[in-house]
Amino acid sequence: MEKWIVDLLEMYKDDIGGMLADNAGMVPIVIIIGILFAVVLFLSYFFLAWLCIRISRKVFRHIEKRKGKSIELQFTENLLRLIIIVLFIIMPLAGDQIKQSILGSAAVIAAIVGFASQDAIKDIMSGLLISVYKPFDLGDRIELEDGTAGIVESITMRHVVLVLIDTVRLVVPNSKLNSSTIKNLSFDYVPRSVEFSFPVHYNSDIEKTKDVIFQAVKESPYSIPGKKSKSGDMIYGPVYFIALMDSALKMKVTVYYEPPTATEVLKDDINTRVFAALGEAGIVVPYPHANIIIQD
């Protein structure tokens, strides 16, 4: 289209030049028309780019409805959006030499970006590798090397967003995740587990104490049957009397729970329930104290 306009102007440049020479008052009008035409041309390319992005978004939403959300689908959508934007920046400059223009512009852009933003390139390439090899997916609960754990909410060209406890968002660069060791706590379905220890007074009824702790764990909305019995059924973890401490009997129980559940939430619920249940049953939880005897 641009070449057709250029050829047309070339054909009538002498007539236009003569007209402007005879009527100098036409010069501002011609300039305004030229500016308006450039604006219309720019808006046309902008509209086409917007339309392509909108169509691609609808296509990806349709795929999501059929196959569900996934990390590679989200990264591919972001990558396609970037390609569309870059193409519609290059195309107005292309003319008939569109292939050479795209290649040349891409080379220039790559050189500039390579020198000015090496970290961004690392993040994009790392995001591509993550979406291809899928060490984790959207909705998975992962744990970083520093012990921070969260649920994968989204992935962009540069970073992954994790939802931590209390809905706090942690933004982690793709390159950091790709180069570090992470724990995928949702990789295949295996119930997670945490061990709890509860000290009780020496005068406590051991069997009663076991039953109270077991029932409190069972009533938690976060605990699930995760231990396989001899018959093959899944059961709640039993309570064991494992040690005689200096001033208490030590009871231990393993609690199983679903991978998406935050460990902190489970610990808070189990500790609260067991402590309250022991108190209601009249079972004393000892604490360090000293008796001072004064003799005359």
- 98: pLDDT strictly greater than 60: no
In CATH, what class is 130-184?
mainly beta
The SS3 assignment for 41 reads: helix
Band the pLDDT of 112: cuts 50, 70, 90. Answer: low
**pLDDT number for residue 4:** 46
**pLDDT number for residue 186:** 77
Do 130-184 and 192-280 agree at the fold level?
Answer: no
pLDDT tens digit sequence for 209-257 = 999 999 999 999 999 998 888 888 889 999 999 999 988 999 999 999 9
Q: How far apart are CA 66 and CA 236, in angstroms?
A: 36
More confidently predicted of 27 and 259: 259
**pLDDT number for residue 288:** 74
- List, in sequence order, the alpha helices (H) in the chain: 2-11, 13-22, 26-67, 71-90, 98-116, 118-133, 174-179, 206-218, 263-280
pLDDT tens digit sequence for 52-95 = 778 888 887 777 777 777 777 777 777 777 777 777 766 665 55
CA 269 from chain center: how many Å? 26
Q: How far apart are CA 49 and CA 88, in angstroms?
A: 6
The per-residue DSSP string of 248-269 comes to SEEEEEEEEE-TTS-HHHHHHH
192-280 CATH pick, 3.10.20.30, 2.30.130.60, 3.30.1950.10, 3.30.70.100: 3.30.70.100
Q: How far apart are CA 207 and CA 200, in angstroms?
A: 12
Band the pLDDT of 277: cuts 50, 70, 90. Answer: very high
What is the number of other CB atoms lying within 10 angstroms of the CB of residue 277?
Answer: 19
**pLDDT number for residue 273:** 96
Q: How far apart are CA 270 and CA 252, in angstroms?
A: 13
Is the separation of the CB atoms in 191 and 224 below 8 Å?
A: yes
Whether pTM exceeds 0.85 = no
Band the pLDDT of 113: cuts 50, 70, 90. Answer: low
User: Strand runs (DSSP E) across 217-258, as ranges?
Assistant: 223-224, 227-228, 234-235, 239-244, 249-257
**pLDDT number for residue 167:** 78
Is the separation of the CB atoms in 151 and 260 below 8 Å?
A: yes
Is the separation of the CB atoms in 209 and 278 below 8 Å?
A: yes
**pLDDT number for residue 238:** 94
Helix axes 118-133, 71-90, angle to 10 degrees: 140
Tell me phi and psi for residue 205, to 5 degrees.
-75, 115
Spatial CA neighbour of 173 closest among 131, 117, 114, 123: 123
**Alpha carbon of 220 to those of 189, 199, 243: distances in Å?**
21, 20, 25
Spatial CA neighbour of 30 closest among 45, 4, 7, 12: 12
Q: Where are the domains of the chain?
A: 2-119, 130-184, 192-280
Is the separation of the CB atoms in 251 and 198 below 8 Å?
A: yes
More confidently predicted of 25 and 121: 121
